[in-house]
Amino acid sequence: MRAVVAPLTALLLAGCFGDAVTVFPPGLEPLEDNTAPLPMLGRDGEAPESIVILTGERPTGLVFGHARGYIRAPITRVWEALRETDVNADRRATDEWSRLEVDVLPEGLTHSYIIETVVHAFITARYQVTWRHGLVEGELEEPEKVAVRWQKTFGLALIEILEGSIVLTALDDELTEIEIVERLDAPSTDEDTIRLFLKDLFDETVLYTKGLPLPTYE
């Protein structure tokens, strides 16, 4: 979110900087209908390990991204990757990030935690994103469908909306379908901001499932 913070220094110094607390919405349902198509199958009928990302902007200024793709890994491994702090964090756009565990899980959730993000510009800005995971179908040891939601729940008030949802579906023992929706309403952000984060999230998830190191960003 460096793109959000750095250009806003004048506003922040003028007294517009503050903390806003929002309530995470109940449930783990997708934020909205996902309009992205699945990647085209290969000539051999095999699903490619790739993702299709569609983005747009609404009249209110809110930008959104819809993504759908395939990961060649068991759903248990993909879900494990999506609980990894370095995969969740927008490491390309932030300077520091840390994980805070949530002691009490609301009913229906299997995992819940907070990622606190710090961006150093002319000022230091902090915000927190709450991540929640739950089993939708199957058993915890053998999930068939998993849902994930994330949302900015505290911090930089200029980020009015930062939220997303993920649905994982096991297609077979070694192939997982991933669906992602993200919505963002913050100054100095656009469709490219959404597209880059969704691509990074997908790529890093794939790397993690294969036991490969995650990329580093300047």
Both ends of the chain: CA-CA distance in Å? Answer: 14
Q: Which long-range contacts (CB under 8 A, 24 or more apart) does 160-164 make?
A: 160/20, 160/185, 160/186, 161/62, 161/185, 161/186, 162/1, 162/127, 162/129, 162/186, 163/31, 164/31
Residue 46 in this model has a pLDDT that exceeds 50: yes
pLDDT value, residue 19: 62
The two three-digit tokens of residue 102, written as one number = 């949530």
21 pairs with which residues across the strands?
154
Helix (H, G, I), strand (E, B) or coil at 42: coil
Residue 210 in this model has a pLDDT that exceeds 80: yes
Higher-scoring residue by pLDDT: 46, 18: 46
Cα-to-chain-centroid distance, residue 2: 16
pLDDT value, residue 10: 39
Residue 143 in this model has a pLDDT that exceeds 80: yes
Q: Is domain 2-24+49-209 in CATH 3.30.530.20, yes or no?
A: yes
pLDDT (average), residues 189-214: 97
* pLDDT tens-digit series, residues 87-142: 999 999 889 999 998 887 888 899 999 999 998 877 788 999 999 999 998 999 99
pLDDT value, residue 26: 59
Higher-scoring residue by pLDDT: 35, 159: 35
* pLDDT tens-digit series, residues 4-38: 554 443 344 334 445 655 444 457 889 999 999 99
* Whole-angstrom distance, CA of residue 218 vs CA of residue 215: 10
Pairing of strands 124-138, 111-120: antiparallel
pLDDT value, residue 17: 46
pLDDT value, residue 40: 96
